[in-house]
Homo-oligomer: A and B are copies of this chain.
């Protein structure tokens, strides 16, 4: 059977791992694809650097020529970033190549252009590794749930922040100390901004939302809060409620009150929140990721695995590579992103959620009544109140029922202005804590 020729763009951590797997599993892969996979060329910035196991004759700096060469069937892009990756992917698809990418930044920022090109050119575009590393997630969402209707997706999609929060939960560490620990072990980068400020999670949320709801969502649409403001007190407060703080990417349909088909829109947001320890997402430790899906027919599903790292990501890339290769051997292509409805992404203020609020209050009679009255004035219903301490150490913990975020935020602002409230010590959203 005629070999399928693969052009690899990028040969860093993930790229070199892909090369290694292609070589070591060649016999396996040939049996599974129905044809051998051959490396046609590897585009890099520094061809003079030797790459283990790569024939130097395959290295090139001219990526654009490589992706449009006649003898190339499949292009694997593991460079990252917006350009030149976008231009190369568009050129590859226009030239009839199948494309595998791990580029979450590009798909989150400009998914419309890239997915649009795939539709226009009838190209196979696979991107499992762009969202959650090695967890087979996108293919199940695209294929297995194909007869289903996804209502909500909640994900832990950033290993760095999950590792830090797990450390804070396990050892009572401060954010700063946990971050240092993470950096020393290689779980966080020297400049950890993209992870701890939630940019990485927001990009993945945008891709997940596009996939789940078949509507355009870009990273800019996603309400984003990172974990830099999470305190040891927040984490302890969660523990006291048998909950745990996680950085969550939440994508959900917002139904129309009149029950119309598309719904009012979608809500897509990233922020740290408390979830019950009994929830499957709570068992996601260290740098693992997981995505919890609620679908109409399938019910609740969760996919859990290693989010990042050379080996898991390369494993996801290889899975996609085999899928597109098999499609080419069979003369078919994978599922096409069909956009059904233009659903608006609703502003955070309208998103319905719940708050946990911890207040240091003056220990005077009538404090609880005043606080409760403030919540009532903003039409926020209180689910639970716990009052602890006496005298100078009086502490009030309030957990609300569901309410629009704007009302909850306004209530917190009101609390901050009250005389009897010395300090709003902790504010955190509460998610995934509903009676089934």
Contacts and interface: CB of A to CB of B under 8 A. Distances in A.
Interface of A: 21, 25, 28-29, 31-32, 128, 134-136, 139-140, 143-148, 278-280, 282-285, 288, 290, 295, 297-306, 309, 311-312, 314-316, 318-319, 321-323, 326-327, 329-333, 335, 338
A296 to B, nearest CB: 8
B332 A327 contact: yes
B143 A323 contact: yes
Contact of A283 (B32, B279, B299): B279
A290 to B, nearest CB: 8
A198 B134 CA distance: 31
B146 A136 contact: no
Given A282-B283, A299-B134, A306-B298, A139 B145 contact: no
The copy count of this chain in the complex is 2
B25 A134 contact: no
A25 to B, nearest CB: 5
Nearest to A314: B297
Contacts of A139: 136, 139-140, 143-144
A304 B332 contact: no
B284 A299 contact: no
Given A144-B139, A283-B279, A283-B283, A311 B335 contact: no
B338 A312 contact: no
Given A29-B146, A139-B144, 7 more contacts: A21-B147, A25-B147, A136-B143, A136-B145, A139-B140, A147-B319, A303-B304
A300 to B, nearest CB: 6
Contacts of A312: 297-299
Contacts of A128: 144
B305 A302 contact: yes
Contact of A146 (B135, B302, B306, B322): B322
A306 B318 CA distance: 29
B322 A143 contact: yes
Contact of A278 (B25, B283, B330): B283
B318 A148 contact: yes
A286 to B, nearest CB: 9
A281 to B, nearest CB: 8
A210 to B, nearest CB: 16
